[in-house]
């Protein structure tokens, strides 16, 4: 007689609900308090995760913007295809450029059609349509100012796209950009000689001065963004007198007006919160915002060869009449003039940064530290139109169709430190 198979006890089978909602209800109402606590903790953790994710996306939305995702794809593609030449070159998208400036670890450059934010290796972070006749590019921190010199349009852009777009009623003469995206535009104002305006990062006008007496040729914000300095000139009989005027941006009040008699102003550069370096046809002045001006360099009209400003510093080269030198190099940092340093060749372009000064000549580019000690040179930079020196001493040489990046370790870079 075969053994009888045991019967399954259906009472020992617990059917767990297939509905998630019902399962959660059973756990919340269970007699065992440990299960009820576990269910409540799971619910709380779930909501905290949702809230945390929402807050992360809210505060870091730019990481997931279309331009950021596009850049990620470009970086990946560029990394797969880059060569040694590619990582030291930025090829202009349309084969030409009108102006450019350093931006992050790359370059902001513009042609008449567009503004580009590009990095070595073939990556373009952003392309922004312009349609300007004579585009000018200025950068500061995370912002790029592009304006149409002689036209009426300007735009402020960051890596995610435009933050301000302006169409003015008067032609733009010049512009500059300060801390936090504040920017300055000087215009050939209708009904006045000129005007200068300050805008915030969203394009809101926060200061404006319209002048019936002066022609404003240059203007800039102090490093802290609180004061505007404007360089202007007026005709005084048969002579031209320049003035440097300091305004409080918050209330529009005139702090000081420094007169520079018989001098034609060319360029103004803040070197610290209290001092502006002012380049004129008869030399260089240091002007503080109390209205005191000191001529620290005298030069004859026509002796100025080249100048450049960047990072609240100014570099200039003048013709030299001493020994075998072809030019004298000067810099202004922190309200102090340094130089002259004798150059063996006449420079065609300069660039200045916290790392030092770069000089372009017929034989290539040479880099000097802030004490004028020569560091290195590279003959491959011959033919560049402009130089841009970064804070870590990397050199961008801008050519007609591309930009090349040089360092002390680049091919054909010659160490000059032994000459000090």
Give the pLDDT band of residue 76 (cuts 50, 70, 90).
Answer: very low
Give the pLDDT band of residue 98 (cuts 50, 70, 90).
Answer: very high
Residue 56 in this model has a pLDDT that exceeds 80? no
- pLDDT for 64: 56
Give the pLDDT band of residue 74 (cuts 50, 70, 90).
Answer: very low
Beta strand 336-343 pairing with 364-368: unpaired
- pLDDT for 68: 52
Please return the burial class of 157, using the count of CB atoms within 10 Å of its CB with bins 0-12, 13-18 and 19+: buried
Residue 84 in this model has a pLDDT that exceeds 50? no
Q: What is the pLDDT of residues 279-307, one digit of tens each?
A: 999 999 999 999 999 999 999 878 999 99
Residue 344 in this model has a pLDDT that exceeds 60? yes
Tokens of 179: 């801390």
- pLDDT for 412: 92
Give first-to-last CA distance, the chain, whole Å: 111
- pLDDT for 55: 76
Question: Average pLDDT of 75-99?
Answer: 69
d(CA 126, CA 148): 19
Listed in sequence order, the DSSP H helices in 181-308 are none
| Residue located via tokens 């300069």 | 350
Half-sphere exposure of 246 (CA within 13 A, CB side): 23
Tokens of 331: 């810099």
Residue 34 in this model has a pLDDT that exceeds 90? no
Give the pLDDT band of residue 82 (cuts 50, 70, 90).
Answer: very low
Give the pLDDT band of residue 31 (cuts 50, 70, 90).
Answer: low
Residue 24 in this model has a pLDDT that exceeds 50? yes
């Amino acid at each position: 007689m075969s053994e009888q198979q045991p019967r399954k006890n259906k009472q020992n089978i617990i059917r767990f609900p297939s509905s998630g909602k019902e399962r959660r209800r059973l756990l919340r109402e269970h007699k065992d308090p440990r299960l009820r606590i576990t269910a409540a903790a799971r619910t709380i953790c779930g909501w905290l995760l949702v809230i945390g994710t929402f807050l992360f996306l809210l505060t870091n939305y730019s990481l997931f913007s279309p331009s950021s995702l596009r850049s990620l794809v470009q970086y990946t593609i560029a990394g797969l295809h880059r060569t040694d030449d590619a990582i030291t070159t930025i090829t202009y998208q349309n084969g030409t450029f009108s102006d450019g400036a350093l931006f992050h670890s790359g370059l902001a450059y513009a042609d008449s059609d567009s503004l580009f934010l590009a990095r070595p290796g073939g990556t373009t972070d952003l392309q922004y349509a312009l349609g300007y006749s004579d585009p000018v590019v200025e950068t500061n921190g995370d912002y790029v100012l592009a304006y149409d010199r002689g036209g009426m349009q300007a735009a402020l852009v960051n890596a995610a796209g435009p933050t301000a777009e302006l169409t003015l009623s008067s032609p733009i003469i010049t512009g500059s950009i300060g801390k936090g995206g504040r920017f300055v535009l000087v215009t050939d104002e209708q009904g006045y000689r000129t005007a200068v305006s300050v805008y915030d990062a969203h394009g809101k006008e926060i200061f404006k001065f319209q002048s019936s007496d002066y022609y404003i040729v240059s203007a800039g914000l102090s490093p802290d963004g609180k004061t505007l300095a404007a360089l202007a000139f007026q005709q005084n009989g048969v002579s031209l007198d320049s003035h440097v005027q300091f305004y409080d941006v918050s209330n529009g009040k005139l702090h000081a007006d420094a007169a520079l008699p018989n001098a034609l102003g060319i360029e103004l550069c803040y070197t610290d919160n209290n001092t502006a370096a002012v380049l004129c046809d008869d030399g260089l002045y240091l002007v503080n915002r109390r209205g005191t001006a000191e001529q620290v360099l005298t030069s004859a009209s026509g002796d100025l060869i080249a100048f450049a400003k960047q990072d609240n510093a100014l570099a200039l080269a003048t013709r030299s009449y001493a020994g075998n030198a072809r030019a004298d190099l000067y810099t202004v940092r922190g309200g102090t003039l340094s130089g002259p340093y004798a150059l063996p060749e006449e420079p065609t372009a300069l660039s200045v940064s916290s790392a030092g000064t770069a000089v372009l000549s017929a034989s290539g580019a040479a880099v000097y530290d802030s004490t004028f000690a020569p560091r290195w040179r590279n003959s491959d930079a011959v033919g560049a139109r402009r130089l841009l020196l970064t804070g870590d001493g990397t050199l961008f040489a801008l050519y007609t169709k591309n930009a090349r990046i040089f360092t002390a370790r680049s091919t054909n870079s010659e160490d000059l430190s032994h000459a000090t």
